[in-house]
Amino acid sequence: MTGATLLLAKALDFAARKHVHQRRKGESREPYINHLAQVSWLLAEATGGGDAALIAAGLLHDAIEDTDATFVEIEAEFGSDIAALVAEVTDDKSLPWTERKRLQVKHVATKSRRAKMLKLADLTSNLHSVLESPPADWSPERKRRYLAWAREVTDGCRGADTTLEEGFETVWRRCADEFDA
């Protein structure tokens, strides 16, 4: 096995254990690890498998935000490069939801190229979920607001990666058509 294979297997195991009881908000309530796997796969596809640290960060990107994992723990397990990527896309959960979303729009353009790639993959996966299995309590207006917010965030990611940008655009257009946005 290569070092990259071991790294990805370890990140998958860590993410699966940390998110074991979590489900997506959609009607199908799919296991949360499915989202992390899709983000990781989108990053693997965009990099041709050439950036194992970024792909691992795709599996770990919500660990600090949504589990008991800490930056120190991720750094100890996966190194400073991966921990820094995860931290770069982690929201401050002590802030209200609306403030966190506003800050994402405001600061995304200042993020590293790899963090922008991670954000593009994350939002692409999220839009797939909203399209295929939206939360039951989301009105059409709520879906349109999420779609508009996702557009604002990804506008700040322009130039990071053509493959990821095209993937986002494809699912964004499908959502726009579906939600009459």
C-alpha to C-alpha distances, 8 to 14, 55, 62, nearest whole angstrom: 10, 7, 16
Amino acid 2: pLDDT: 76
Distance between CA atoms of residues 150 and 25, nearest Å: 17
Report which of 66, 70, 164 is spatially closest to residue 113, judged by C-alpha positions: 164
pLDDT at 1 over 70: no
Considering the chain, what is the average pLDDT of its residues? 96
Beta bridge partners of 31: 23
Q: Which domain holds residue 85?
A: 3-179
Is 66 assigned a catalytic role? yes
> Annotated catalytic residue: which of 30, 66, 73, 75?
66
What's the mean pLDDT in 109-117? 98
Exposure b/e, 135-161, CB count within 10 A at least 16 = b: beebeeeebbebbeebbebbebbeebb
> Annotated catalytic residue: which of 13, 27, 62, 65?
65
- Higher per-residue confidence, 26 vs 122: 122
Amino acid 160: pLDDT: 97
Is 65 assigned a catalytic role? yes
Distance between CA atoms of residues 130 and 144, nearest Å: 10
Query: How many structural domains does the chain have?
Result: 1
Domain with residue 151: its CATH number is 1.10.3210.10
pTM of the model: 0.95
Amino acid 17: pLDDT: 98
What's the mean pLDDT in 44-66? 97
pLDDT at 145 over 90: yes
Report which of 65, 56, 113, 120 is spatially closest to residue 90, judged by C-alpha positions: 65
Distance between CA atoms of residues 109 and 101, nearest Å: 14
